[in-house]
Amino acid sequence: MSDSSNPSAPPRIVVVGGGAGGLELVTRLGRKLGRKGKARITLVDANMTHIWKPLLHEVAAGSLNSTEDELNYVAQGKWNHFAFQLGAMTGLDRERRTIQLAAIQDEKGVELIAPRELDYDYLVIAVGSTTNDFNTPGAAEHCLFLDTRAQAERFHRHLLNQYMKAQASERGAAREPINVAIIGAGATGVELAAELHHAAQLLRAYGFNRISPEDLNINIIEASPRLLPALPERIGGPVTEILRDLGVHLHTGSPVKEVKADRLILGNGEEIPASLKVWAAGIRAPAFLAGLGMPTNRINQLEVDRTLKVNGEERIYAFGDCAACPTDEPGKFVPPRAQAAHQQASLLAKNLRNLLDGKPEKEYSYRDYGSLISLSSFSAVGNLMGNLTGNVMLEGRLARMFYISLYRMHQMALYGVPRTLMLMLSDQFGRTTEPRLKLH
């Protein structure tokens, strides 16, 4: 299918969402189809740059300077033969095959670009997910979230402000602890806790000596009976022991009932003082998906078949966290994990090429290659699963090496091997000339 006003024009493939999956997809399509003029590939995103979402806890703690690891969509499109449109998707007209994009405003609220429409022949929705606060009273008003770079940087500013305030206090004045509460003991929650403990040590080394690392009280609150409830116990067990050794306070088995400005109230009646509160429990797809007239589940995910087509649609696909894709096991769905989005992006790139060549589409089958949890510089824990490795438990430096390699694989998919090697060298040199923690 091509532009109706010009039947000879190449088909228009529009991908909405520049997260890890969407960005890998347009990069692959641009190299295979856009470069040869077989299709016009367009990426749509509400931001100008991309940062790998599993790194946001490092941005929040200050371990990672987001401006150095971000990718610019315009430049990536230039290098990989796809176009970029800045905007947030707000609506869909399936009969006319158009999507609606919201207006673009500057920091003062002045409209720069009016609301507009974008035509497509094939549409792919890869808008990811946001944190689900389950409508807990006070959560939206008093908690910070880690869904975007801006939110992670906001948390970092709040943390530094509390250290600055303590540093400026009078000598001899009683030291007040900084109480941090992390709601949710999934990967983001436990990794953030370890990264914050590491940051406390570095802040002390850089002269913030009015607050000792022991005065940063880090609390993790998890409704389930144990940490990392979505992962095997043999991963959650070692992580629990490491966090306890670091002095992180663990509260499991009771959900957060209410969030106040200065504390949390749990379902069991316990109250936890907290001046910094991060909600990292649960996910849901963006709310606008439920209003597009296509089937969605209770957390707004678009329901798709095994080819990643939205149920009942012939030209609309969805994948990643915003899609409910069935697995080989009846009644089970693909978990919202980075490895799933990567696998689906690879399959969808092949399927769209097959579609244009008149070949049949293949079905997606989820492959679990294991899980790795990074606990900052202290350790890493996880397991690798595969045809060659079987199911192997990893811990310590080896697990940390494999964890870092996941990001390098993401970079290779976007930049290719030579440029990724150059980035690795640049990172090594940067460590010798820059502070190990972002201090502003």
Look at residue 3 and tell me if it is in a domain. no
Banded model confidence at residue 407, pLDDT cuts 50, 70, 90: confident
**Is 365 contained in some domain?**
no
173 shares a domain with 307: no
Q: Domain check: are 270 and 334 in the same one?
A: no
pLDDT score of 405? 83
Residue 37 falls inside a structural domain? yes
Q: Does one domain contain both 376 and 427? A: yes
419 vs 348, which has greater pLDDT?
348
Quick one: pLDDT band at residue 430, thresholds 50, 70, 90? low
Same domain? 42 vs 109: yes
Residue 6 domain flag? no
Instruction: State the residue range of the domain holding 403.
Output: 370-433
Average predicted confidence (pLDDT) for the chain: 90
Per-residue three-class SS string for the chain: CCCCCCCCCCCEEEEECCCHHHHHHHHHHHHHHHCCCCCEEEEEECCCEECCHHHHHHHHHCCCCHHHHCEEHHHHHHHHCCEEEECCEEEEECCCCEEEECCEECCCCCEEECCEEEECCEEEECCCCEECCCCCCCHHHHCECCCCHHHHHHHHHHHHHHHHHHHCCCCCCCCCCEEEEEECCCHHHHHHHHHHHHHHHHHHHCCCCCCCHHHEEEEEEECCCCCCCCCCHHHHHHHHHHHHHCCCEEEECCCEEEECCCEEEECCCCEEECCEEEECCCEECCHHHHHCCCCECCCCCEEECCCCEECCCCCEEECHHHEECECCCCCCECCCCHHHHHHHHHHHHHHHHHHHCCCCCCCCCCCCCEEEEEECCCEEEEEEEECCCEEEEEECHHHHHHHHHHHHHHHHHHHCHHHHHHHHHHHHHHHHHCCCCCCC
Q: What is the mean pLDDT of residues 237-256?
A: 95
Residue 372 has pLDDT above 50, yes or no: yes
pLDDT, position 63: 87
Whether residues 259 and 143 fall in one domain: yes
Q: What is the mean pLDDT of residues 311-321?
A: 97
The whole-model pTM stands at: 0.91
Co-location of 178 and 267 in the same domain: yes
Q: Is the pLDDT of residue 49 over 90?
A: yes
**Is 147 in the same domain as 116?**
no
Is 361 within a domain?
A: no
How confident is the model over 327-345, as pLDDT tens digits?
988 889 999 998 999 999 9
- Whether 97 is in a domain gets the answer yes
Domain boundary among 259, 281, 303: 281
**Residue 5 counted as domain residue:** no
Same domain, 273 and 143: yes
pLDDT (mean) for 64-73: 84
Domain end among 253, 281, 309: 281
Residue where a domain stops, chosen among 311, 327, 356: 356
The answer on 59 and 39 residing in a single domain is: yes
Maximum mean pLDDT: which of 101-115, 271-285, 379-393: 271-285
Task: Answer yes or no: do 332 and 348 share one domain.
Answer: yes
Percentage of the chain exceeding pLDDT 70? 93
Q: Which residue has the higher pLDDT, 13 or 384?
A: 13
**Can you give the pLDDT at residue 272?**
97
Q: What would the mean pLDDT of 112-128 be, rounded to a whole number?
A: 96
Q: Are residues 171 and 219 in the same domain?
A: yes
**How many domains does the chain contain in total?**
3
Residues 235, 145 within the same domain: yes
**pLDDT single digits (tens) 83-102:** 999 999 999 999 999 999 99
Is 314 inside a domain boundary?
yes
